[in-house]
Amino acid sequence: MSTFSNAVLRHRTIDACLRDTSHKYTLLDLINACTAAIKEKYGSKVGAKYKVSVRSIQLDLQTMRCKIKGYGAPIIVYEHKYYKYKDPNYSIEKAKLGKDTLSQVADLVAALNQYSSFSELSSLKNLSHILDEEISAKIQKRGSVIQNEKRKNPLGLEYFDTIHDAIINRKALCIGYYSSRSNNIMSIIFYPFYLKEYKGRWYALGYKDGLEGVYKLPLDRIRDYSYSILPFPEEYTFDPDKYFHDIIGVTRLSGEPKEIRFLVKNRLAPFINRNPIHHSQKTVYRHENGDLEFTVNIIPNREFYNLIFDFQPNIQVISPREVGLSANERVMEIVEQLPDYSLEKKKSQAVEPDSWDNGINLFSEL
């Protein structure tokens, strides 16, 4: 159990308490809340008798108030007993981190960089470089020289920790989510098993009460949640390797994988050759003009067809015929909904005579 991460967990727990204006929190209340949070996160690792000390919480409050070591939090004591924020809208999650805190984070990122060189953790390499540069830029007060794509105000990420905790501890959730079909908030009992990001969007995969098969729930559709009293069924299991093996994205439809053959024109072919659309991709034919033909063994889904559409007009499905027709239908649906810009072009090209020009040459007699 990391001392630093343990302290951050306490700080976040205290922050949640001080933002809760419906309850008055004493020092003992903060101790109990932090103890419960640590026991929930670490379970049997800390033991049933574990309890956060009074001194730890007092130091936490002092650190949180400090601008250099903490967050500059406006914590006040009222009625000589209770703690709260002077500004009810304040949260440490919105605050700028102090220099000492940033240095501690930098040490953690440096350790992560060291371990990312191991093949087992090689997937962390890019992430560790991005984190290292972002923290270093803040400490040195300079502009960052690395930028990864960030979504502004991403919806649903506030539920990430809740979903993750429910997966680890096998908790059933009652989730209210927005349904685009009915344009209403729907309520479901959800048994989460897995979290996956695809193209900047996070999905929770699990089982929906009353529905067979794996159910995928975009986190940005979640509007509220509560814990269900229903037990997590023991027979519910999920094998991510099997689920994602022969699909692109997160949608797995019924049916068997198909060998899909597609042609990529020469201008895009080198990119697709170096960046396969699926791990099963194979090069099966090279044309003299540089075009390449590939095959993939997948269950075609919405994500696959969207990918084909994204690469138009430099890619086309050769076989099976029904997959090619489905890909073409998606393209035609989009084209049919586009405005006819050719009419606008014709209008702009048509030159109207000026109001004073009636076709008479006023200077013909000169």
Residues 213 and 173 in one domain: yes
The set of long-range contacts for 18-27, using a CB threshold of 8 Å and a minimum separation of 24, is: 18/73, 18/75, 18/83, 18/84, 18/85, 19/85, 19/88, 19/90, 19/91, 21/84, 21/88, 24/82, 24/84, 25/82, 25/83, 25/84, 26/81, 26/82, 26/83, 27/54, 27/57, 27/58, 27/83
pLDDT digits over 248-269, tens only? 999 999 889 999 999 999 999 9
Token duo for residue 2: 């990391």
Residue 286 lies in a domain: yes
- Rounded CA-CA distance 310/313 in Å is 9
pLDDT confidence of residue 361: 47
Looking at residue 211, its amino acid is L
- Given a cut of 90, whether residue 290 has pLDDT beyond it is yes
The Cα 36–Cα 208 span in angstroms is 29
Helix (H, G, I), strand (E, B) or coil at 218: strand
Query: Which tokens go with 316?
Result: 């086309």
pLDDT for res 129: 78
Return the biggest CA–CA distance within the chain.
112
Q: Is 328 inside any structural domain?
A: yes
> Which contiguous run of DSSP H or E holds residue 293?
strand 292-298
Whether residues 80 and 107 fall in one domain: no
Band of the pLDDT at 365, cuts 50, 70, 90? very low
pLDDT tens readout for residues 80-134? 999 999 998 999 988 887 777 888 888 888 887 787 777 777 777 777 778 888 8
- Output the pLDDT for position 32: 94
Asked if residue 135 has pLDDT above 50, the reply is: yes
Q: Which domain holds residue 83?
A: 3-96
Please check whether residue 366 lies inside any domain of the structure. no
Q: Given pLDDT bands bounded at 50, 70 and 90, which one contains residue 75?
A: very high
Q: What is the pLDDT of residues 82-97, one digit of tens each?
A: 999 999 899 998 888 7
**Between 357 and 214, where is the model more confident?**
214
pLDDT at position 155 over 50: yes
The total domain count for the chain is 4
User: Do residues 181 and 194 lie in contact, with contact meaning Cβ atoms separated by under 8 Å?
Assistant: no
pLDDT at position 150: 65
Residue 89 and residue 105 in one domain = no
Nearest to 24 by CA among 75, 81, 76, 74: 81
Q: Judge residue 47's burial from the number of C-beta atoms within 10 Å of its C-beta, 0-12 exposed, 13-18 middle, 19 or more buried.
A: exposed
The percent of residues in the chain predicted with pLDDT above 90, rounded, is 47
Over residues 295-316, the mean pLDDT reads 93
pLDDT score at 70:
86
Indicate the average pLDDT of the chain: 85
**pLDDT: which is higher, 142 or 229:** 229
* The pair of three-digit structure tokens given for residue 202, joined into one six-digit string: 């996070």
What is the average pLDDT across 163-182? 88
**Token pair listed for 149:** 């794509």
> In this structure, what are the phi and psi dihedrals at residue 179, rounded to the nearest 5 degrees?
-100, 120
Q: For 331-351, what is the mean pLDDT?
A: 69
- Predicted local confidence at residue 366, as pLDDT: 37
pLDDT at 360: 46
Q: How many angstroms separate the first and last alpha carbons of the chain?
A: 100
**Residue 359 identity (one-letter amino acid):** G
Report the candidate in 262, 270, 338, 326 with the shortest Cα–Cα distance to residue 300: 326
CATH number at residue 333: 3.30.70
Helix (H), strand (E) at residue 318: strand 315-319
Per the model's pLDDT, the better-predicted residue between 242 and 136 turns out to be 242
Which CATH number is 25's domain given? 1.10.10
DSSP 239: -
Task: Average the pLDDT over 44-70 and give the result.
Answer: 88
195 shares a domain with 263:
no
How confident is the model at residue 106, as a pLDDT? 83
Same domain (yes/no): 117, 197 = no
Residue 252 forms part of a structural domain? no
Q: Identify the pLDDT of residue 104.
A: 81
In this prediction, residue 21 carries a pLDDT of 87
For the ranges 5-9, 143-147, 347-351, which has the lowest average pLDDT? 347-351
Of 43-47, 106-110, 361-365, give the lowest mean pLDDT range.
361-365
Same structural domain, 10 and 48? yes
pLDDT recorded at residue 322: 93
Span 314-343, mean pLDDT?
A: 84
Q: What is the pLDDT of residue 245?
A: 95
209-247: per-residue pLDDT in tens? Answer: 888 889 999 999 998 999 989 888 888 888 999 999 999
Spatial distance between the Cα atoms of 265 and 191, rounded to a whole number of angstroms: 44
Tell me, yes or no, whether 165 and 234 share the same domain. Answer: yes
Structural domain includes residue 83: yes
| CATH number of the domain encompassing residue 215 | 2.30.30
Cα–Cα dist 318/216, whole Å: 30
Has residue 73 got a pLDDT over 90? yes
pLDDT at 328 over 60: yes
**Nearest 5°: phi and psi at 343?**
-65, -40
Q: What is the pLDDT of residue 154?
A: 64
Q: Do residues 117 and 94 touch, judged by C-beta distance below 8 A?
A: no
Q: How confident is the model at residue 356 (pLDDT cuts 50, 70, 90)?
A: very low
Can you give the pLDDT at residue 300? 95
Same structural domain, 86 and 107: no
Asked if residue 276 and residue 206 are part of one domain, the reply reads no
pLDDT of residue 91: 92
